[in-house]
Amino acid sequence: MGYLILGTRIDPTSYPSATKQVLAWAQKKESRYVCVANVKTVMDAFDSPEYRRIVNRADLVTPDGVPLVWTMRQRGARGQTRVYGLTLTLEVAKAASQEGIPVGLLGGTPEVLDYLALKLTERFPDIKINYRYSPPFRTLSPEEDGKVVQNINASGARILFIGLGSPKQDRWMADHSGRIQAVMLGVGAAFDFIAGTKRQAPRWMQNSGLEWLYRLSQEPRRLWWRYLYHNPRFIVLVILETLFKRG
């Protein structure tokens, strides 16, 4: 049973639990999708009922952002920890390599995918990366999209890591649910971090909920609106929601 934070479902889970669930679905060749949620996810969903339905229909929604973890703990999910997209990617990739489950990579630039595949193979020599695709920035035609679906399914990949960024990757997964015969994980910036094309925040900033500040300092032009608009609203609205629930 998930926790509703401003109307968006966030599931109490952990790396071992989420990894075990993903592998179980993959072994059964089920079409599922997993959203990795942070403050931006919740605020985008708060602003868009259509997007909120997409996230809430996901088979699993992990608490990627530390503020979500704090909110879940305050509401009763004692011991809840962050289930970070990067670490979840590595945990699932490791388990898939051990179990011989083929994986696929969709998103990023061709260069990022090359580095990502290299890094994953260095970490997990037995990993089977059966599919790689860097889509164009434009919307694919129905014929092109159908070809992508056909290629993914023909590759035999049972777990598909998707790095299109939020909310694009979540919408993509929802649109392809039931068509892609694999477990889809929307892991966003994990592609760049694992590939080494972007730097991660220091661990102390991640643990203290200040990762957003580090990322803002790295990409101020792209991220200033995202953080300076969403974060204050999130704090105020969650406080009001909590007080209302108590009242």
Give me the tens of pLDDT residue by residue for the chain, a chain 247 residues long.
Answer: 789 999 999 999 999 999 999 999 999 999 999 999 999 999 999 999 999 999 999 999 999 988 999 999 999 999 999 999 999 999 999 999 999 999 999 999 999 999 999 999 999 999 999 999 999 988 999 999 999 999 999 999 999 999 999 899 999 999 999 999 999 999 988 999 999 887 665 676 666 666 655 565 666 566 556 667 778 899 899 999 988 776 4
The pLDDT value recorded for residue 112 is 95
On the 0-12 / 13-18 / 19+ scale of CB atoms within 10 A, 240 is exposed
Q: Tell me, what's the pLDDT at 138?
A: 87
**pLDDT at 208 (0 to 100):** 60
125 phi, psi to nearest 5 deg: -55, -25
As a whole number of angstroms, the longest Cα–Cα distance in the chain is 55
> Structural domain tally of the chain?
1
Q: Which residues pair with 63 in a beta bridge?
A: 37
Spacing of C-alpha 37 from chain mean position: 6
> What pLDDT shows up at residue 229?
77
Q: Give the predicted TM-score (pTM) of the model.
A: 0.89
| Domain region containing 191 | 3-246
